[in-house]
Amino acid sequence: MARRRVVITGLGTVNPLGQSVAETWKNAREGVSGVGRITHFDPTEFRAQIAAEVAGFDPEEYIPRKEVRRLDRNAQFFWAAASQALKDAGLSYDEDDPAALRAGVACGSGIGGIITFQDEVGVLRDRGPGRVSPLAITKIISNMAGGLASIEFNLFGPNICTVTACAASANAIGDAAEIIRRDDADVMLSGGAEAGIVELSVASFASARALSTRNDDPAAASRPFDADRDGFVMGEGGAVLILEERQHALDRGATIYGEVLGYGMSADGYHITMPRPGGAGAARAMQHSLRDAGLGPGDIDYINAHGTSTPANDSTESSAVKAAFGDLAYKIPVSSTKSMTGHLLGGAGALEAMLCVLAIRDGVIPPTINYETPDPECDLDYVPNEAREASVGNVMTNSFGFGGHNVALVFGPPS
């Protein structure tokens, strides 16, 4: 029996570059930076005082007012992106619709409702246990963003949550595709969201020397693969892709953006934060995704890198690409859109997957901005500073998480 094919029929996003797919893609093509000084709290006493925030987000544009207070900001982002994606796909379900039983959710988040966590710990400490919100747990747990999407949009098929740090939403997309392939669903709302720009997480990442401290020049702080990179910039937001069994999509006349061709995973098994030197684990994930797609190294036209702007990640990922692709690595454009969006942590993979799909659609490779000084250990084609028009067929996107979680996804054009 032939494997069921999985296509992408809807996109939605709220992120530092825009609160729609069109706005995000325009700014990504133009090399706009979404990084600025933190406004969510006073960062004066913090080593890192910059982040990529979603400015002016109003959850009530998508969510009934009475429901907003029940959701942490990360779930609000996911709800908004899901609303956009379902509308884009032309899909909606009534509670008694049999098709709703074949539509599910796969949501990824690295740290869930950390805003609520921090706030309610403060309430407990300052005001006592009787004042802790009864909604605290449901706002904190990572799976609730997907659970609420299922409730709101009547999606009664499989509902899963992946919590694999910065690989979480890439895992969610890959797992959603596998659910459709094995005939457990026809439609999956897949992606992820994160809202981690709070004192606790910024202080912790900064203490670990993971964040950029280029506080005097925020727009230039995220500079993947550049020799002067000094850490990543935290971002926030979410992105959702509607995955659908291909014939199901064709039968209803859906617009198809592209196809999910391959999904590869591996573990570094090395360190809680550092990637394995040489990139062997990451290379295996890329190789597994190519094998799953039935493609060879010469079939990839663009790689959207994990590209965090940390010294260890960027050099290791460059080595991993060379290990996976051999000499062809030098011929494949590799860019990091985190240079513009910052790092959405668990939401990053979904946003980058969306940008890959748009690169296929429009034949445009988004740039790595702020690339000024080459690093001898990073010697690939990083599409520096300006988008590039190109014939883009099959693309790969990489997502790597703390704990050594490696994911690679391969997308292809509609066919």
Cβ proximity of 148 and 77 under 8 Å: no
Instruction: Give catalytic status of residue 248 as yes or no.
Output: no
Cβ proximity of 89 and 254 under 8 Å: yes
Among 342, 358, 348, 336, which Cα is nearest to 411's?
358
What is the C-alpha separation between 174 and 84, in angstroms, rounded?
21
Query: According to DSSP H, which parts of 128-229 are helical?
Result: 136-140, 144-153, 168-181, 199-207
Among 290, 287, 278, 273, which Cα is nearest to 410's?
290
Q: 248, 343, 378, 405: which one is catalytic?
A: 343
Q: 161, 166, 356, 378: which one is catalytic?
A: 166
Instruction: Give catalytic status of residue 343 as yes or no.
Output: yes
Q: 107, 306, 356, 405: which one is catalytic?
A: 306
What is the C-alpha separation between 12 and 235, in angstroms, rounded?
17
**Residue whose entry in the numeric block shows the structure tokens 């490696």:** 406
296: region left, alpha or beta (phi > 0 left; psi from -120 to 50 alpha): beta
Cβ proximity of 192 and 347 under 8 Å: yes
Instruction: Give catalytic status of residue 405 as yes or no.
Output: no
Among 35, 18, 33, which Cα is nearest to 354's?
18
Residues forming beta bridges with residue 406, ordered by sequence position: 266, 400
Distance (Å) of CA 72 to CA 113, 136, 327: 5, 9, 46
Catalytic sites, residue numbers: 166, 306, 343
